[in-house]
Chains A and B, each alone.
Chain A
Amino acid sequence: MRLLSRSEELVLLTVWNLQDEASCLPIQRKLEQATGTSWSLGSIFDPLDRLERKKLLASHLTEPTKERGGRSKRVYRLTPLGRRELRNLRSIQEALWTEALGLETEPERP
């Protein structure tokens, strides 16, 4: 199995967080809040596309709205596969973290 990249993982997690509101802009806003760095739109489109191709995400178009110049919005939601993937990642990380924290008695270098 191939692991997701960090940005894919974060985007996937954000989509889960946002529930039904997960279109590009809210995702970007959420990510910027959470990480404190700026995310360009392109750096979100790409992971979204890839995740959709890997069937971890699904999307649909909404009715066009006025403030978007009459264009519809693409809203993403997690597929069960996506959910499983995230849980899987988390368990891997936790296992590693526990092991790492067990070594914390060692003094840190200045």
Chain B
Amino acid sequence: MKKTSTPPSRPPRDAEWLLRRLFADSGDYSHLGDFEEIHTAKIAELGKRRADRWYWGHVFKSLPAFLANKIYWSMSMLRNYAVMTCRTIVKNAGYSLISLLGLAVGLASFLLILAYVRFETSFDRFHDKGDDIYRLISAEVKPGETPGEFEANSPDPAASTLKNEFPEVRHAARVMKQFNDPAILSFEGRAFAQSGLIADQDFLEIFSFPWIAGDKSRALTAPGTIILTESTARKLYGDADPVGKTVSYAIRRGKADLMVSGVVRDVPARSHLQFDYLLSLATLEADRNNAYMFKTWDVANFTIYVETAAARDLENKFGAWLAKAQPDVAAGGLRFFLQPLKDIHLHSNISGQLATNNEIRTVSLFLAIAVLILLIASVNYTNLVTARASTRAREIGVRKVAGADRRQLVRQFLGESILFAFLALGAGLALARLVLARFNDMAGIRLGFGDLIDPSFFPFVAATTLVVGLLAGAYPALMLSSFQASKVLKEHAASGRKGSRLRHILVVGQFAASVALLICALVVTGQLRFIQNRNLGYDREHVVLIPLREPGTAAQASALKARLLQQPEVESVSRTSGLPTAIRSRMIDQQLVSDSGETIKTEYHFDYIDEDFLDVFKIELAAGRNLAPAEQNAVLLNETFIKMAGWKEPLGKEVDFRGKSVVVGIVKDFNFGTLHSPLAPMALFPNEGNILAVRLRPGNLQAAVDSLRRSFETVTRSQPWEYAFFDEEFDALYKKERRAGQLFRTFAGLSVFIACLGLLGLASFAVERRTKEIGIRRILGASSSGLALKLSREFLGLVLIANVIAWPAAYFAMSRWLQSFAYRINLGWGTFLLAGFGALVLALITVGTQTIRASSSNPVDSLRYE
């Protein structure tokens, strides 16, 4: 036994320590000596080891009774504390309600945001081989630079190369989105527009979407096969077994009968890959019209997923292979990277993705807001309890006289604040449930109440509530327990001035945080409005889009166009494939000859339009002319393209864009991406597209749309009527930002609300405490407005100081955020003044309701007592 620190005759130290704890309640340790004496005697009689064992035996024998005793008494004390807490809450119903409401709103916000964060961070975690799955992305890397803009689309041969040349690659899947999404799936007269993906067999090998029926090992190998999700299959076939049945699949280009080769469970919301069906890529490969996208390194049309255990090496090896086998591609600086599956949803801001994703920045921002709101709410509790400490002075005094020591009091008040926090959590849960549907809309997610009380999630919320309780109660507990019984019982209650400096600091903190949030919300809103109202180089109002989804309708396009033009509401109609918001294709390997005869390798965006496109979208020409009707081999370029090529005399130039085209006109630059990205070179070629873009004359839009529908339905009945307003398409571009902005505004508003609640409590208590002073001042002739001002001044000063702190912080944060936009507003004084002034006015109203009531009351009422 190692007991070097214990002299041989002393009892074991740990046992003695335990025993001392058992005697601690009585405060009389003389019995310890008795034990030690016997122990010494036992050593002489039986030896050290058995004496020690005897000592330990006695300690353990006394434990159960001791614990039972302890628990009995602490339970009875706990009951007393609970009763006291409830009485305090009920007695000060108004103040309790203020803290409770603030804390409940704070906890509800925290709960919702946390659930949102959990949702956003749990994307794509359900695949068995998730850690080995990567997405192939590319970027042009100039020597010595870090890659700038990434692109998610890769050329077709990349997949087969990876699989054939590199043994460490287990699978490489090619996936693409149908251009004419959604397609119309029909069976025996039941037809539904469904959106899906086109994928090859490797897709099924890599991802583990739960399989229900069919032969998984060859479901996507053959042309003409399609996999349906469970609910799509049920819609089409009811309860019958869908495998082996035919489904008719219609898009503008054509119609085909496909065979259902398998059924998978519906795709979970937490997946970046979303589909109602999976069409086999072999179907596309079999169609000669699609040959342009296969077996070439020039067209990047596929998202490629790779399953490998050695990603890091693979990137370099693939780069080296590319430089050797495809020097043309590599010479442009194109490099490929492997992006882990789990990074796709939050850590990739790259173009050409299959689904819009979110950003980790936004998610962490909201987490920070949640914590901030929670802090602001707990400060309310701290402030109100400390301000009103004097009202409990007598209770504390009596407790102390009755023998409570400081530790017990601290425990009592901490217990009180924790109980309070949990009451607020209950109210917060109810509140969260109430607004859950609205929150889901705003955040663009689907959460159920079950997600909020999920057993793997709720303990964390409960722990946070506990921390909030401790945090909010810590200072009040220390302060209340420090009262001296002799003083508080003898004198009139303490003045309540105690701790007022800390209270002031906390109020300043609350308002600084709220004002900063408010400024940020205003800037975000301003930037979004700026984007939406900016002169983009095209007119997005009054344009209706009609998709041509299936061959019957597409064949009628000219008739339809002619018919629509006869309507008085219609100004012009264009049959186009591109939209000013979406110039969808990108050529990554284009060679141009500059004026000096040099060959330039470059890339550009392109799409197909007709001669009415510029009219419909009111895009202006900088030089040259528009496309002529039915003109072939002509092209319109934008100004940036010309600048890039460096041509002095571009008009009439014949350029080889995989087929010769004559530059007939130059369009003024317009932003076809989002305003995050700067202008890029663009080319518009003539071809028939699958969208009818209709410009309406200003007027009754709904009536105009109704008459469009009538014309559409007289011409074709093979496709259900469907339309979209172009400005809504435009709005969709900024969906992510708009959502963030709306959430931001809501929570900034809530934080101001909570801070004002706290101020309301403090002001009303200050007024209550000074009732008599106010009465005397009134009698001595103070005017009621002067009094109200005097009472409010203390609080308004705090709000002003808060502004001074909030402004630089918000300025710093927002100027960084604005950096991510290529086109942005300036941070003017206006926003700051507006937010500061707004907070000040709110505070003034809050405090004013109390002070005005007090200062205009009749002094007789306040002085009559005694």
Residues of A within 8 A of B (CB): 23-25, 40-42, 45, 61, 67-69, 71-74
Q: Are A41 and B35 in contact (CB under 8 A)?
A: yes
Q: Which residues of A lie under 8 Å from residue B36 when comparing CB positions?
A: 68-69, 71
Query: Using Cβ atoms and an 8 Å threshold, which residues of chain A touch B37?
Result: 25, 67-68
Q: Which residues of A contact B38 (CB under 8 A)?
A: 25, 41
Which A residues touch B61, using CB under 8 A? 40, 42
Q: A24-B34, A45-B31, A73-B34 are in contact. List 9 more A-B contacts (CB 8 A).
A: A25-B34, A40-B58, A41-B58, A42-B58, A68-B33, A69-B10, A71-B36, A74-B28, A74-B31
Most buried by A among B10, B28, B61: B28
Closest to A72 in B: B30
- With CB as the reference atom, state the residue of chain A lying closest to B34: A24
Q: Does B856 contact A (CB under 8 A)?
A: no
B40 close to A (CB within 8 Å): yes
* Chain B contacts with A in 490-514, Cβ cutoff 8 A: none
- Bound-state CA distance A24–B28 (Å) is 14
Question: Quick check: B40 and A73 within 8 Å, CB to CB?
Answer: no
Instruction: Write the chain B residue with the least CB distance to A70.
Output: B33
Judge whether B834 is part of the interface by a CB distance below 8 angstroms: no
Q: Which of A40, A45, A72 is within 8 Å of B33, CB to CB?
A: A72
Which residues of the other chain, A, contact B29 by a CB distance below 8 angstroms? Answer: 71
Is B269 close to A, CB under 8 A?
A: no
Can you spell out 24 A-B residue pairs with CB atoms less than 8 angstroms apart?
A23-B34, A24-B31, A24-B34, A25-B34, A25-B37, A25-B38, A40-B58, A40-B61, A41-B34, A41-B35, A42-B61, A42-B62, A45-B31, A61-B30, A67-B37, A68-B33, A69-B10, A69-B36, A71-B30, A71-B33, A72-B33, A73-B33, A73-B34, A74-B28
Shortest CB–CB separation between residue B623 and chain A, in angstroms?
105
Q: When the two chains form their complex, are residues B10 and A73 in contact, meaning their CB atoms are under 8 A apart? A: no
Which of B30, B35, B58, B62 touches A73 (beta carbons < 8 Å)? Answer: B30
The yes or no answer to B559 lying at the interface (CB within 8 A) is: no
Task: List residues 8-49 of chain B with CB under 8 A from any CB of chain A.
Answer: 10, 28-38, 40
Residues of B within 8 A of A71 (CB): 29-30, 32-33, 36
**Distance (whole angstroms) from the CB of A91 to the closest CB of chain B:** 33
A40 to B60, CA, bound (A): 14
Least Cβ–Cβ distance between B764 and chain A, in angstroms? 52
Q: How far is the CA of A68 from the CA of B36 in the complex (A)?
A: 6
Is there an interface contact between B33 and A69, defined as CB atoms closer than 8 Å?
A: yes
Contact A74 B30 (CB under 8 A): yes
| Bound complex: CA A71 to CA B20 (Å) | 12
Contact A67 B58 (CB under 8 A): no
Residues of chain A contacted by B32 (CB below 8 angstroms): 69, 71
Q: CA A68 – CA B38 in complex, angstroms?
A: 9
CA distance A52 to B687 in the complex (A): 109
Interface size on B, residues (CB 8 A): 16
Tell me the bound Cα distance from A42 to B62 in angstroms: 8
Complex Cα distance, B34 from A73, in Å, reads 8
Interface residues of B (CB under 8 A from A): 10, 28-38, 40, 58, 61-62
Closest to A24 in B: B34
Interface of A is mostly: mixed
Residue with the greatest number of chain B CB neighbours at <10 A, chosen from A25, A45, A71, A74: A71
Q: How far is the CA of A86 from the CA of B109 in the complex (A)?
A: 73
Closest-by-CB residue of A relative to B31 is A45
B31 touches which of A40, A41, A67, A69 (Cβ 8 Å): A41
B62 and A67 form a contact (CB under 8 A): no
Taking the closest CB of chain A, its distance from the CB of B434, in whole angstroms, is: 58
CB distance from B69 to the nearest CB of A (A): 13
A73-B28 Cα distance, complex, nearest whole Å:
11
Residue ID in chain A nearest B61 by CB atoms:
A42
CB-defined contacts of A72 to chain B, threshold 8 Å: 30, 33
Q: How far is the CA of A71 from the CA of B30 in the complex (A)?
A: 6
Measured CB to CB, the closest approach of chain A to B407, in angstroms, equals 25
Residues of B within 8 A of A23 (CB): 34
A45 cross-chain contacts in B, Cβ below 8 A: 31
CB distance from B352 to the nearest CB of A (A): 81
Give the 10 A-B CB pairs with smallest separation, nearest first: A71-B33, A68-B33, A74-B30, A24-B34, A69-B36, A68-B37, A25-B37, A68-B36, A72-B30, A71-B32
A residues in contact with B31, CB < 8 Å: 24, 41, 45, 74
Which residue of A has the minimal Cβ distance to B30?
A74
Which B residues are in CB contact (< 8 Å) with A74?
28, 30-31
Q: Which of B32, B33, B62 has the most CB of A within 10 A?
A: B33
Interface centre among B28, B30, B58, B61 (most CB of A within 10 A): B30
- Chain A minimum-CB-distance residue to B29: A71
Q: How far, in angstroms, from A67 to B33 measured CA to CA in the complex?
A: 9
In the bound complex, CA of A42 to CA of B33 (Å): 14
CB closest residue in chain A, given B32: A71
Question: Closest CB-CB distance, A55 to chain B, in whole Å?
Answer: 18
Q: Which of B29, B34, B62 has the most CB of A within 10 A?
A: B34
Which residue in chain B gives the minimum CB-CB distance to A48?
B31
- B residues in contact with A25, CB < 8 Å: 34, 37-38
Q: How far is the CB of B198 from chain A (nearest CB, A)?
A: 83
Q: How far is the CB of B300 from chain A (nearest CB, A)?
A: 85
Return the chain A residue nearest B10 by Cβ.
A69
| Closest Cβ–Cβ distance, residue B450 to chain A (whole Å) | 54
Task: Give CA–CA (A46, B146) in the complex, Å.
Answer: 81
Q: Which residue of B lies closest to A41 (CB)?
A: B34
A74 to B10, CA, bound (A): 20
Name the B residues within 8 Å of A41 (CB-CB). 31, 34-35, 38, 58
Q: How far apart are A76's CB and chain B's nearest CB, in angstroms?
A: 11
| Residues in A neighbouring B28, C-beta threshold 8 A | 74
B5 to chain A, nearest CB (A): 14
Across the interface, name the chain B residue whose C-beta is closest to A23.
B34
Residues of A within 8 A of B58 (CB): 40-42
| A61 partner residues in chain B, CB cutoff 8 A | 30
Say how far B32's CB is from chain A's closest CB, in angstroms.
Answer: 6
CA distance A77 to B327 in the complex (A): 108
Q: Which residue of A lies closest to B28 (CB)?
A: A74
Bound CA span A40–B40, Å: 16
Q: Closest approach, in angstroms, between the C-beta of A110 and any C-beta of chain B?
A: 42
Q: Which residue of chain A is the closest to B7 with respect to CB atoms? A: A69
Residue of B nearest to A42 (CB): B62
- State the Cβ distance, A18 to closest chain B Cβ, in Å: 15
Q: How far is the CB of B485 from chain A (nearest CB, A)?
A: 27
B30 to chain A: which residues have CB within 8 Å? 61, 71-74
Query: Of all chain B residues, which has the CB nearest A75?
Result: B30
- Measured in the bound complex, the distance between the Cα atoms of B28 and A61 in whole Å is 10
Minimum CB–CB distance for A81 against chain B, Å: 22
A37 CB, nearest partner CB in chain B, Å: 17
B306 vs chain A, min Cβ distance (A): 73
Q: How far is the CB of B122 from chain A (nearest CB, A)?
A: 57
Chain A residues with CB under 8 Å of B10's CB are: 69
**Closest residue to B62 on the A side, CB-wise?**
A42
Rounded to whole angstroms, the CA-CA distance of A64 and B373 in the bound complex is: 59
Q: How far is the CA of A69 from the CA of B30 in the complex (A)?
A: 11
User: Nearest Cβ in chain A — how far from B28, in angstroms?
Assistant: 8
- How far, in whole Å, are A15 and B430 apart by their CA atoms in the complex? 67
Query: How far does the Cβ of A104 sit from chain B's closest Cβ, in whole Å?
Result: 43
Taken together as a complex, chains A and B put the C-alpha atoms of A23 and B62 apart, in Å, by: 21
A67 to B9 CA separation, bound complex (whole angstroms): 9
**Most B CB atoms within 10 A — which of A41, A69, A71, A73?**
A69
Collect the chain A residues with CB atoms within 8 Å of residue B40's CB. 67
